[in-house]
Amino acid sequence: MRRLLIVATMLLLTAPAWAVETWYFRSTAGEACGPGDREDLSETAGSSATLKTMDGTGDTWNVIEARTIAAGNWQVCTDLTVASGGGQAGRVTWIVQRYNSSCVQQGGDIINDQSANLTSGASGEVCSSTADPGQLAFAAGDLIVVTVSQTQGSRQVDLYYDGAAAGAADSRLTHPDEYVASTRRIFNVGMILVP
């Protein structure tokens, strides 16, 4: 008489995944690259809100990078307050670029002149659309440079930044950088006839 033997095996499969990385606008001095005020991007959020009035020239936040950033979505979110009153409320525009250590742009824009209409008297977070520039390799000394400007309108627009994460004034850049290994368990069950 034959017996039925049940055999179970388990496979562990490890696959890469990319998580979102967040860089907060800070009020500390950044590299001397980009228009307007040049301040720092940091993975550590600030604790005290700073106000900056927007203009057509724009202001810049930057950070030195030397790594390869995976393909995926980039986005800028800014905490804005628009003055009430007459006149055109205007638009805010975000540009994200890669510069080398000599402050010369490398390649095309990562986020290219993304803009949003503003509403008179409005206050809160306004974000760019997401953009996927593909995988980007940053050489030693290269910078990520974020420029925010008011490109239309006569009403005053104030940008709040350097505040706590997930709270007021947490203006920020997000991109897909952090490498995370995800593991899946697969069970395989087989049956064997044995004498």
> Residues near 8 by Cβ (< 8 Å), separated by ≥ 6?
187, 188, 189, 190
Over the stretch 105-159, which tens digit does the pLDDT of each residue have? 999 999 999 999 999 899 999 999 999 999 999 999 999 999 999 998 888 999 9
What is the predicted pLDDT for the residue at 136?
Answer: 92
What is the predicted pLDDT for the residue at 18?
Answer: 56
Helices (H) and strands (E) in the chain, counts: 0, 13
What is the predicted pLDDT for the residue at 168?
Answer: 87
Q: Is the pLDDT of residue 16 over 60?
A: no
What is the predicted pLDDT for the residue at 89?
Answer: 75
* Predicted confidence band of residue 179 (pLDDT cuts 50, 70, 90): very low
Give the three-class secondary structure for 44: coil
Contact 41, 173 (CB under 8 A): yes
Element (H, E) at 68: strand 68-69
Letter string b/e over residues 43-73, b meaning 16 or more CB atoms within 10 A of that residue's CB: eebbeebbebebeeebbbbbbbbeeebbebe
> Residues near 189 by Cβ (< 8 Å), separated by ≥ 6?
6, 7, 8
What is the predicted pLDDT for the residue at 52?
Answer: 95
27, two tokens: 């009020």
What is the predicted pLDDT for the residue at 195?
Answer: 54
Average pLDDT, the chain: 84
For each of the domains in the chain, give its residue range(s) and CATH number, in order of start.
3-194 (2.60.120)
The model carries a pTM of 0.81
Over the stretch 50-91, which tens digit does the pLDDT of each residue have? 999 999 999 999 999 899 999 999 999 999 999 987 777 789
What is the predicted pLDDT for the residue at 154?
Answer: 84
What is the predicted pLDDT for the residue at 167?
Answer: 85
